[in-house]
Amino acid sequence: MQKRLLTIAVAAVTGSFAFGTQAVAAEHGNENGQQNNQQQNEQRSAQGLYSANDLIGSDVYLESDPEEDVGDVEDILLDDQQKISSLVISTGEVLGLGGREIVADIKDISLETEHDESQEFGEGYVTHRIFIHAETEDLEGFPEYERTWFDEERERRRSDLIGPGTWQADGVPGGTMGNEE
């Protein structure tokens, strides 16, 4: 049920999804360079709608080395405006051991999307490659996704949004609780 709600929430807020607009395709130097560049631009351009179900589990690669698989997407974090804020990425696992989950801000991520017309809708029709704008050694500096980080980040964002002592009865930051003059 939680996964379904997340999928619905992500579908409802895709206008804020910044993956496609952040990536710039590199020129390929082979005889099909122009065609490959056009295809890559298409794969990295905004898609208009994304499914959380398709994103979760997607492989994550270094942007500087698109063949260097650093992990996969474990979770998608939304902010109070229901915009995607961060991705939780499972990194460094070998046979399911030794990895850690890091939090990557949406500004540190870009996305490549492929549509496979031969696949059934929802059954591999859309696949994603996530690119992180960092080097392998930089990943150590990303926050670890754990309860302490989550609670502190949630409280920081809440206080930034509504300020101390402000009620939010009408669902709007700094809401009035019906006491308008």
Return d(Cα 6, Cα 50) in angstroms, integer. 12
Q: What's the pLDDT score for residue 38?
A: 57
CATH number, domain with residue 39: 2.30.30.240
Q: What's the pLDDT score for residue 154?
A: 92
Residue 130 lies in a domain: yes
List, for the chain, all residue ranges whose pLDDT scores fall below the cut of 70.
1-45, 47, 93-98, 162-181
Residue 119 lies in a domain: yes
Closest by Cα among 117, 51, 45 to 84: 51
Q: How far is CA 131 from CA 74, 77, 107, 153, 164, in A?
A: 15, 17, 11, 24, 37
Q: What is the pTM of this model?
A: 0.65
Residue 76 lies in a domain: yes
- In total, how many domains does the chain have? 1
Strand 126-132 to strand 59-62: parallel, antiparallel, or no bridges (unpaired)? parallel
DSSP three-state, residue 87? strand
Q: Where are the beta strands (DSSP E) in the chain?
A: 59-62, 65-78, 84-91, 100-105, 109-115, 126-132
Q: What's the pLDDT score for residue 166?
A: 47
Residue 171 lies in a domain: no
Q: What's the pLDDT score for residue 125?
A: 80
Residue 118 lies in a domain: yes
Strands of the 59-62 sheet, one edge to the other: 100-105, 84-91, 65-78, 59-62, 126-132, 109-115
CA 89-92-96 angle, 5° bins = 95
Residue 13 lies in a domain: yes
Q: What's the pLDDT score for residue 8?
A: 40
Q: What's the pLDDT score for residue 179?
A: 45
Residue 170 lies in a domain: no
Residue-range definition of the domain harbouring residue 152 = 2-162
Return d(Cα 91, Cα 101) in angstroms, integer. 6
Residue 75 lies in a domain: yes
